[in-house]
Structure 1
Amino acid sequence: MSLRFIYGRAGCGKSTFCLDQIRNKIEKNTDNKLILLVPEQFSFQAEKDLLDSIGERALYKAEVLSFKRMSNKILDQVGGSAHKRMNDAGKNMLIYKVLDETSDKLKFFYKASKQQGFVDILSELITEFKKYNVTPNVINESLSKIEDLELKNKLEDISSIYEGFQGYLEPGYLDAEDELTILSRKLDESDYFNDVEIWIDEFTTFTPQQYSIIEKLLQKAKRVNVSLNSDMLNGYNDVDNTDVFSITKVTEKKLLNIIERSGVGYEKPIDLNKEACPRFCESKELRHIEKHFFSFPYKYYNLPVEKLRMYKALNTYDEVEKVARSIVAEIRDKDYRFKDIAVVCREIESYERIVSVIFKEYNIPFFLDKKRDVTDNPLVVLITSAFDVFIKNWSYESVFRYLKTGIVKIQREDIDLLENYVLAYGIRGFHWVNDEFWRFGFDKDKEISVSDIEKLNKINEIKDMVREPLLKLQSSIKDDNSIFNICSNLYEFLNEIGALDTIEEWSEKFSKAGDQEKSDEYGQITDIVIQVLDQMVEIMGREKVKLDKFVTILNVGFEKHKMGLIPISLDEVLVGDIGRVKSHEVKSLYIIGVNDGVFPGSSREEGILSDFDRNMLKDYGIELAADTKTQAFEEQFLVYTSLSLSKEYIMLTYPMADFEGKALRPSIIISRMKKLFPKLVEESDIIKVNEDNFEYIVSPQPTFNNLISTLRRNFEGEETEKIWSEVYYWYKDKEQWKDKMSSVFKGLKYNNLVEKADESKIKALYMKPFNFDVSRIEKYAECPFAYYVQYGLKARDRKIYEFSAPDIGSFMHEVIDKFSDRVKEENLSFRELDIDWSKRAIDELVEETIEEKNAILKSSAKYKYMAGRMKRIISKSIMVISEHIKRSSFDPIANELKFGLGHKDLKPIEIFLPSGEKVTLQGRIDRVDGMGLDDKVYIRIIDYKTGNKEFSLSDVYYGLQLQLLVYLEAILENADKFVESNALPGAILYFRIDDPIVKARRGLEEKDIENLILKKLKMRGLLLADAKVVKEMDNGIDGYSLIIPARMNKDGSLGKSSAITLEQFDILREYVKETLVRLCDEMLSGNISISPIKKDKYTSCSYCKFSAICQFDSTVKGNKYENINKKTDEEALELIYKAVSDRLLIEAKGGNDDGRN
């Protein structure tokens, strides 16, 4: 019985020495069993190394064990394995149960216990306690000694939860972390390790559980060899934490304490540092890194650098693509195999997706050494969403999340048909549960067409296919909500809908398609689901729970369950976390993501127990895992072992920006390497100068991508390298690439310009007689193509049962219009509105309007609140309208006036195009006010807006704001219907419908607050520059008006205002007519160009629904914005005046012009 250390720096051959010793023992026909003990994650590689080194004889004499395998073997031999084993998922579910039962009694963690993720934190802490032999009793015994109140409260809560957890385990369950504790006890009963020789390899440190087992092994085995990655042995001396090998020296000291305590012998250590380091015999650079990276002062490597490369990438995509190109080059040029290469990083989660995409594109076989989450697997999604259907009352989201897993045997087009129908009519809840025939969208009294009946029959057929198995499941768990019953019926449900058969079929399909990784994933998921359900039943099967709590527990189980996959080939690039990669057979190593704070990693969060807590517990004899300070030293050791992994070659890479474009800094490792290797040239493709084009000629798809970039440069007149000509002809001659090459050339010539549409077809599309809405013509001015798609092709969004912003505007317009009508009907006046009467009338009109065609506003609490909010806004707006009229001499003449073909209110506005076509304009005017003065009647047009609409003469000039002036024209042309005297323009104004929040100091009187509201809702627009008329619009104007965009000077003259003269109004009216002629002529002549406007930061693409259709891209040749250079009112008026004058001059000379600069 003895201990022997085998020590040496990284790469000195410790593992090889262990294997050689085992082989020598076998060759000498030793009678002793030979055991190689390694970490669990390295056991597969260790078995392979043993077979490669010794051959099949190893199977009979030697054995590879991990602590977990050892536990299974010994417990099977001497007993103790009869307990039901609880996996991590079961553990988390049990902790959730205990937490749910005890949360109200917790002092320190009451709030935290309600937070998502707290179960995981507790699970990790309990695992740590068990690894370090800290039981609830140990915690409770320490409580009387602890004076710090916060730590005491923490430990009391933790102990309560821990005791509850252990209490549920004791009747017959075994936590995975308890296995080593039981193993340590059971080793006394076993003779399996008597007189064996053991080699413990690849460990850096051990947990107290493992030390306890090693102590038992030392007392039984003939000899225990322990390999240590260290420059020297430290003995019983104190360990310097700054020493990069401090971790292994602490391990050495603890093992020496064990043999001293146990009376076990100590053999002369094997010092492999004396020998030439075999791993780096092919690379002086890597040997220099291993020996001098952590040495001070630096020893510079002044030779040319060949076996070390460094790459600065633009972003992670560029970084991984560089690695892929380099791997292909190594396979091609260095006679490497894929298994000789490893790609590692500190945070594999941030790289796994992009590595998978790029490596597949480069035809690089790889194994991603990472356990997969199962929560996104379709089977798990189907289960959780099926229960969500019941919990969320058959909500749209839950039903179609369930259907879109692809597992339910309903055709996708049928699901789409049903989805569109459900969305259009907001179907949920009892409509699914009741045995009713859905016929939403059709009046009961109206006859339905044959095609509509067929469609409804199809929809109802699909609906029944969806609901019947779900209703059966819901019914089966309604009266018995025990976990056992829910789990049992869930399993029956999965079988009934064929879910498990479908998963098996998918696994086979993936296997046949060559995607073995996916095949393995689907091959495991059914067992995982059954394991989680079994654990639920075993832990709490008799308990009755509400369905939402059942789903929470289920999710806790699924979230903790990780799916492990094994390599599908022996020849694959290993991709994984730095801490999990074993050094054997790695000839070429790529360390990616070498960024500041990533590698070496920054200090991790302290967790439930802070560093202060851990150090205090250590003083009381409770040792736990390392604090964050010690973890920082461990990270330094990880840097050392990582840089020492490869035999021949290392490439360090780091991106300058993350996926979102946020800047990243290089790690200290990069700067240190540059100091160690002064002749190391950092590579980068950020600025490509004298690049090796041969590097970009790799596997077909990525080379094709690079060829496209080269062809584009050539197409734009840039000189390209001759080698790409050969590449081009290679693809051109390959049948399978001909279509793609053709598409490339089409793409290079593509300019995304839309040809002018055939005039006759356009006219047929818009149909005579041409009757255009003026607001739509403004949209044409913003982008002809968007107008064409929306109003020509009549593209529509999918109909959804919702009350959108346009619906809100229409609703409030309608109620205000009805209110205005009621005021007239009851011979009342806006000047003398009674507040109480107004509120009652608004309440009635809102309810009436909801009943007529807005029943959605009663369909949910959200919409009921919206209805109440709109009612308040309408009330406030009507009070403000009333106040405007009280303060003015203008009276409402009419409201909701319609003009255009088919409307009797006003005769339509007609415009005649150069082509001879006649266009009629239509619209709806919210309110017209009039005021008599000096034998004239001044007209005021009011347009209600729910948004903050500003009037701009600049926009009028560009044809973007014509509506108010067209409304004015419609009234002036029909003035004889309303007034007897000569009608003149008085104002065109926007009124904002709103109930604004105003900021005000305390102590303001009610009148002052009302004035603040009036100021906030001041009308915007254009006034007639006549002081008398302006005063009639605001009788009390003194300085700046609270209700109109005007200011009156002290001398009674009009100050700075949004006002123009009568002549300017006439010019504006004339210009608007010309603009309408121009726009309508362009529209009907077939101009459907993709030419969106850009005005300051706004573009007409900003909220456009049709961007996926036009695919406008300002970087593509031919695609450019129509830049709208904002004009001042004075500049706009001058340009408008000039345009009208020029047109009149041209007409006088018999010419033609478009009327706009």
Structure 2
Amino acid sequence: MSLKMIYGRGGSGKTKHIFDEIKNQMKDEKKDRIILLVPEQYSFRAEQKVLKELGQSSVFKVSVLSFNTLVKMILTTVGGATHRLISDTGKTMLMTKVMGEIKEDLTLFKSVASKPSFIEMAKNLVDEMKRYDLDFDELEIVIDETEDQELKQKFQDILRFYHAYEEEIHKGFVDQIDEVNFAIDKVNEADFLTGAEIYIDEFNDFSVVQLKFIESLMRKVKRVIITLTLDKSKVTGDVFQITKDTESQIYKLAEISGISIEKPLIIDDETPLRFQGHSELTHLESQYFTYPNEVYEEKVGAVQLYKAQNTYDEVEKLALHIKRSIREDETLRYRDLAVLCRNIDNYESILLSVFREHEIPVFLDKRRDLDASTLSQYLLGLIEICIQGFTYDALFKLLKTGLSPLSFNEVDVIENYMLANGIKAGSFGKHWVYPYPNIRDENLKVAYLEKTNIIREKIEELYSPIIKNVKEAENVEQITRLLYEHLELTGVFEKAIAIINEINDLEIAKEHEEVAKGINEIFDHLVEVLGEEKLSLDVYGDIVKQAMISLKIALIPLTLDQVILGDVTRVKSDHIKGLYILGVNDGIFPKTVSDEGLITDRDISKLKEKGLEIFIDSKTRSIYEQFLVYTAFSIPHDYIRVSYVSSDMDGRSQRPSLVIGRLKKLFPKLIEEAYQSPMDERSGTLAKVEGKKSTFNELVKEMRRNYQGEQVNPLWGEVYDWFKNDEGYQERLEISKEGLEYTNFAMNLSNSSVKALYGDELYLSVSRLERFTACPFAYYIEYGLKAKDRVMHEITAPDVGTLMHDVIDQFTEDLKGMENDTTTLDKAFIQGEVSRLVDEAIKNTNTIYNSSKRFQHMGEKVKRILNRSIETITAQISKGSFVPMFNELGFGKGEKLPALSIEIPDTGEDAFLRGRIDRIDVMEMDGKSYIRIIDYKSSAKDVSLKDVFYGLQLQLLVYLDVIMKNWDSILEGEAVPGAVLYFRMDDPMIKGSSAMTDEEIERKVLESLRLKGLLLNDARVIKSMDKDIEEYSLIIPAKLNKAGEVVSSSNRSDKNKEIILSEGEFDTLREYVRESIGVILKELFNGNISIIPYKDKEKIPCTYCTYKSICQFEPKIASNHYRSLKPVSIDDLWENMQKKKGGVFVGNPVD
């Protein structure tokens, strides 16, 4: 019984030494068993290495084991392996169950006890406490005696769930730590260990339980040889502190057990074995953590540095470097390369995508998540519909996996219907009769509704039985068997396999095979661990979810020649020639250690004061991070390439790690490569010719250079010819050629297309004309192609506006019937009528307001706005002599007034405008009827002559024109325009002190909701709108100056000219608007669908446009321009409009 330690720095040859020693021992035929003990994640590669280095005969003489496999061998050989071992998944299930039972007994952790993240942390903490063989009796004494209430509460909770968990697990199971403890007691009975020699390699530290196991082995076997990465000849700071502590722990155990300690082997060659021939790597390994350090003055080749623009650039350059290295070095293979990062999750998707494009075979050395797979999502959705019924989230989590018997089309149809009508789970089981959205044809509506009900019935037939049976199940075992049988009977497993087979990717297929095994493992554990338990479906679902989160899938490489991708903690150095380290940024490599988790540094410090050193603090974890940096730098044989990003994928600046500065200090001549914009690159050389996919992508770039007239390397002509003759790329090459000439220029529609899209007779609303003027292409998509957003069960701004318009209209009509004087209405009457009318409107037209508390609240908000609006409208009317004559007066087909006919220039055809005028007030004076048109808006709106000039604001003036043209058919007498105004429907928030009187508040409200628009320049008419007007008006945007003249509220000359108009100027505007509409209609009739949105300073219609993804308008593209609206003075506006020099579709193209 002896112990031998082998020390050496990284790359010094410790592993080679023990392999040489084992090789010599194998020559002795009588030699007893040799065991090579390595960490679990390295066992596969260690077996490969043994076979390669020691030959076929090693299979019978050398056992490559991990701690767990050696424990199992001992227990299987001498007995004690009859107990049931609980997996990590099973432990998660038990912890979830335990937390559900004791949650109410917890103090500090009560609010988070059911959260998956806390359950995982609690399970890991229990494992850590067991691995470090915690003396719980001593801990309980310390906690009972402490006066620190926070510490007391925390550890009372921890001890409570620890004991509850241990009691639960030992009802029929043991975990791996328990097995190690069993094995410690049985080691002496394991005859196969007698005379054995155990080599322990690739470890840096051991848990307390592992140390006890090593101690028991040392007492049993002939020799134990342990390698440690440790420099015994120098003091180099804290970097080796972890292995120093491990050395002390092992020697202490050996001394206690009376183990003979052999002279240690210290490998301290000046040039470590791994780095021979590469002095830069030797310098990096020896000097990085040496202070003061020596500087490498020579030219640097084996250490490389790249500053990337972002993660994608970093990975793209990595792939190119790998391909070039493989091509230039005939001895180099993909298996000789490794890519490491400290945050593999952040790089995984980009790495796999880019490597696939460059045809680089890769193995991701990472345990994969189970819960994200389609099979897992189907199962979770199935459990959720058993709990919740057919709720939207549960049902479509299941259906969208593609594993149900429904087609994707059927899933889309019923999803659209449920979203549009807000279908709840309780609506299943009934025949659906809700109207189908966006379908006007009654026959088509009936057909779609029938189809939807058929799909609904299909869903019910599939899932109602399982829901019923699961709800009636008596225990976990019955629930689990029912779920499994459903998956089998509905062919879910088979369909998942079929989908994967279509992908034709061996690694993905293997991963999904492991997913299926993982789900079966979860089912098995549910039956084994919780089979007879009676749990609610909610708890059952939580347990399954948590099990899926905790269960990780481990794969082994499917081929030998693959680049290894992994975390720094998992990859070892026995065969790596070239190493790439990504993401060497501040806080990432090395990782910033935060004081987080259930046990904080404060807790550890408090316990240490009481003599308990049982947890690892953040300082120790920081030392470990530095040790990982050292470990990574000592991995490669030939070269190391370090990279970092200057910004993340969102463009936010990222700082380099301190590692970068240290490298530059160690290697003053180290050249840092940096991202170069493709715009600055010259035409690619042979270095750009790599794999098919990546070379083709480079070819496309060169084709664009050539298309743009830039000089291109002649070799790309040869590359083009090669791809032209490759059948697999011929079609892609043609598409790429077409793409070079692609622009998003929209050609005019033919006359027949215009007729087909818009009909033989052009009937339009004014708002549609304004939409066309803003952007012809958006008009074409919305009104030509009739593209619609998916209808959702929600209240939109147009819904609210329609409801408020309807209520105001009905309120006014009801008043006419009651012959009430609007000037004397009190608030109580208004509020009562508004409440009644809103409730009736909701009941008759839009039941969505009653479908949820949130929508009911919105209904109440609408009532408040309407109350305030009608009160304000009443006040505004009462202040003047104008009387409401018409509400919601329509013009067009089937309306009281005819459509407004506009001749389309140069076509001989007419178009017809339709619409509805919210309110028309009339005031009689001197035998004339003065007209005031009011348009209700749910947001702030004012008239801008500039917008009128450019055709963006036509509505009020078209309404005025309709009334003026048809006045004789409405009332007798001469009609004169008095005003065209907007009224904002709102319940404004009034700023002021609490001392404000009711009258002051009302004044503020009237001021906030003042009418806005154009007014006739006639003091008598103005006073007829506000009889109290003097220097200021709360009703209209005007006032009288000292001379009694009408001016705007601001009394600015330009504003006066813009909104205070003579009768002739009103006529000018009407005529100009008619001319402008003619121009607009001509453009529309000619099929103009140009992508030319207007731009007025910073205002553009694209901001809220839902069709941006269709037009792909991008100002940076040379052919894409806004239609810039030039600033025009008020005087010039009037001059141009009087001369009918239109501004519609006039503007400077700007980027």
Shorter-chain TM range is: over 0.9
Alpha-carbon deviations, 1:1000-1042, whole Å to 9, x = none? 3222222222233333323222223444433332333454433
- Structure 2 Cα separation of the partners of residues 788 and 349 of structure 1: 44
- Structure 2 Cα separation of the partners of residues 177 and 933 of structure 1: 100
Worse-matched range after superposition: 478-487 or 1047-1056: 1047-1056
- Structure 2 Cα separation of the partners of residues 202 and 323 of structure 1: 28
Distance 1:99 1:1125, change over 3 A: farther
1:244 is the counterpart of 2:239:
yes
1:925 to 913, 917, 921: 917
1:671 to 641, 658, 661: 661
In structure 1, the residue matched to 2:273 is 278
- Structure 1 Cα separation of the partners of residues 473 and 815 of structure 2: 61
Worse-matched range after superposition: 24-33 or 814-823: 24-33
- Matching of residues 521-560 of structure 1 within 5 Å: 521-560=511-550
In structure 2, the residue matched to 1:237 is none
Distance 1:1045 1:76, change over 3 A: farther
Secondary structure of 2:1079's aligned partner = helix
| Partners of 1:7 and 1:270 within 8 A in 2 | yes
1:606 is the counterpart of 2:606:
no
In structure 2, the residue matched to 1:199 is 199
Distance 1:556 1:1038, change over 3 A: farther
How far the C-alpha of 1:233 sits from its partner, in A, is 6.6
Distance 1:1098 1:563, change over 3 A: farther
In structure 2, the residue matched to 1:700 is 692
Give 1:431's aligned amino acid: S
How far the C-alpha of 1:28 sits from its partner, in A, is 2.4
Root mean square deviation, CA, Å = 2.6
- Matching of residues 618-767 of structure 1 within 5 Å: 618-687=608-677, 688=680, 693-767=685-759
Distance 1:173 1:468, change over 3 A: same
1:566 is the counterpart of 2:560:
no
Secondary structure of 2:764's aligned partner = strand
1:1011 is the counterpart of 2:1006:
no
| Partners of 1:378 and 1:405 within 8 A in 2 | yes
- Structure 1 Cα separation of the partners of residues 832 and 963 of structure 2: 33
- Structure 1 Cα separation of the partners of residues 682 and 912 of structure 2: 65
Distance 1:1154 1:852, change over 3 A: closer
Alpha-carbon deviations, 1:664-703, whole Å to 9, x = none? 1111111111121121111123355668733322111111
2:496 to 503, 517, 531: 503
| Partners of 2:967 and 2:975 within 8 A in 1 | yes
- Structure 1 Cα separation of the partners of residues 605 and 203 of structure 2: 25
Give 2:1100's aligned amino acid: T
In structure 2, the residue matched to 1:386 is 382
Distance 1:677 1:744, change over 3 A: same
Worse-matched range after superposition: 1112-1121 or 47-56: 1112-1121
1:584 is the counterpart of 2:574:
yes
| Partners of 1:241 and 1:633 within 8 A in 2 | no
In structure 1, the residue matched to 2:395 is 399
In structure 2, the residue matched to 1:411 is 407
Alpha-carbon deviations, 1:103-139, whole Å to 9, x = none? 2222222233354521122122112111111254343
Give the fraction of aligned pairs with identical amino acids, expressed as a percent: 38
1:306 to 301, 306, 327: 301
| Partners of 2:904 and 2:1079 within 8 A in 1 | no
Give 1:414's aligned amino acid: E
Alpha-carbon deviations, 1:839-867, whole Å to 9, x = none? 33223322322233223333333333333
Alpha-carbon deviations, 1:69-107, whole Å to 9, x = none? 112112222333222222222222222222222222222
In structure 2, the residue matched to 1:939 is 931
- Structure 2 Cα separation of the partners of residues 726 and 262 of structure 1: 75
How far the C-alpha of 1:749 sits from its partner, in A, is 1.3
- Structure 2 Cα separation of the partners of residues 1071 and 461 of structure 1: 56
Secondary structure of 2:1104's aligned partner = coil
- Matching of residues 1101-1120 of structure 1 within 5 Å: 1101-1120=1102-1121
- Structure 2 Cα separation of the partners of residues 746 and 689 of structure 1: 24
| Partners of 1:131 and 1:207 within 8 A in 2 | yes
Secondary structure of 2:558's aligned partner = coil
Give 1:622's aligned amino acid: L
Distance 1:994 1:80, change over 3 A: farther
Secondary structure of 2:113's aligned partner = helix
1:348 to 344, 347, 353: 344
Worse-matched range after superposition: 260-269 or 361-370: 260-269
Normalising by structure 1, what TM-score? 0.94
In structure 1, the residue matched to 2:59 is 59
Normalising by structure 2, what TM-score? 0.94
Distance 1:1072 1:177, change over 3 A: farther
| Partners of 2:808 and 2:870 within 8 A in 1 | yes
Secondary structure of 2:268's aligned partner = helix
Distance 1:671 1:509, change over 3 A: same
How far the C-alpha of 1:592 sits from its partner, in A, is 0.7
| Partners of 1:129 and 1:135 within 8 A in 2 | no
How far the C-alpha of 1:274 sits from its partner, in A, is 3.4
How far the C-alpha of 1:508 sits from its partner, in A, is 4.7
Distance 1:156 1:1051, change over 3 A: farther
- Structure 2 Cα separation of the partners of residues 521 and 217 of structure 1: 37
- Structure 2 Cα separation of the partners of residues 622 and 536 of structure 1: 37
Alpha-carbon deviations, 1:776-824, whole Å to 9, x = none? 0000001111112222222233444443221221121111111111111
Alpha-carbon deviations, 1:214-264, whole Å to 9, x = none? 111111121111111111179xxxxx8933212111111111211222221
How far the C-alpha of 1:554 sits from its partner, in A, is 1.6
- List alignment gaps of at least 5 residues for structure 1: 235-239, 1145-1151
2:248 to 250, 253, 271: 253
In structure 1, the residue matched to 2:73 is 73
Secondary structure of 1:579's aligned partner = coil
In structure 1, the residue matched to 2:289 is 294
1:441 is the counterpart of 2:439:
no
Give 1:705's aligned amino acid: N
| Partners of 1:128 and 1:624 within 8 A in 2 | no
Distance 1:390 1:817, change over 3 A: farther
In structure 2, the residue matched to 1:617 is 607
Distance 1:190 1:137, change over 3 A: farther
In structure 1, the residue matched to 2:827 is 835
Worse-matched range after superposition: 544-553 or 342-351: 544-553
In structure 1, the residue matched to 2:1052 is none
1:1044 is the counterpart of 2:1036:
yes
- List alignment gaps of at least 5 residues for structure 2: 1050-1054
- Structure 1 Cα separation of the partners of residues 262 and 898 of structure 2: 111
In structure 1, the residue matched to 2:6 is 6
Distance 1:97 1:40, change over 3 A: same
| Partners of 1:509 and 1:519 within 8 A in 2 | no
In structure 2, the residue matched to 1:816 is 808
| Partners of 1:375 and 1:558 within 8 A in 2 | yes
In structure 2, the residue matched to 1:121 is 121
- Structure 2 Cα separation of the partners of residues 502 and 910 of structure 1: 61
Distance 1:877 1:48, change over 3 A: same
1:493 to 486, 494, 500: 486
- Matching of residues 902-913 of structure 1 within 5 Å: 902-905=894-897, 908-913=900-905
| Partners of 2:1125 and 2:1146 within 8 A in 1 | no
How far the C-alpha of 1:1084 sits from its partner, in A, is 0.5
- Structure 2 Cα separation of the partners of residues 712 and 1040 of structure 1: 65
Alpha-carbon deviations, 1:958-986, whole Å to 9, x = none? 11111111111112222334554432222
- Structure 2 Cα separation of the partners of residues 127 and 425 of structure 1: 50
Worse-matched range after superposition: 9-18 or 859-868: 859-868
1:960 to 949, 952, 955: 952
- Structure 2 Cα separation of the partners of residues 898 and 1029 of structure 1: 26
Count of residue pairs the alignment pairs up:
1134
- Structure 1 Cα separation of the partners of residues 180 and 215 of structure 2: 13
Secondary structure of 2:291's aligned partner = coil
How far the C-alpha of 1:915 sits from its partner, in A, is 2.1
- Structure 2 Cα separation of the partners of residues 612 and 991 of structure 1: 63
Alpha-carbon deviations, 1:153-177, whole Å to 9, x = none? 2111110110110110111111233
Distance 1:1084 1:672, change over 3 A: same
- Structure 2 Cα separation of the partners of residues 67 and 1153 of structure 1: 82
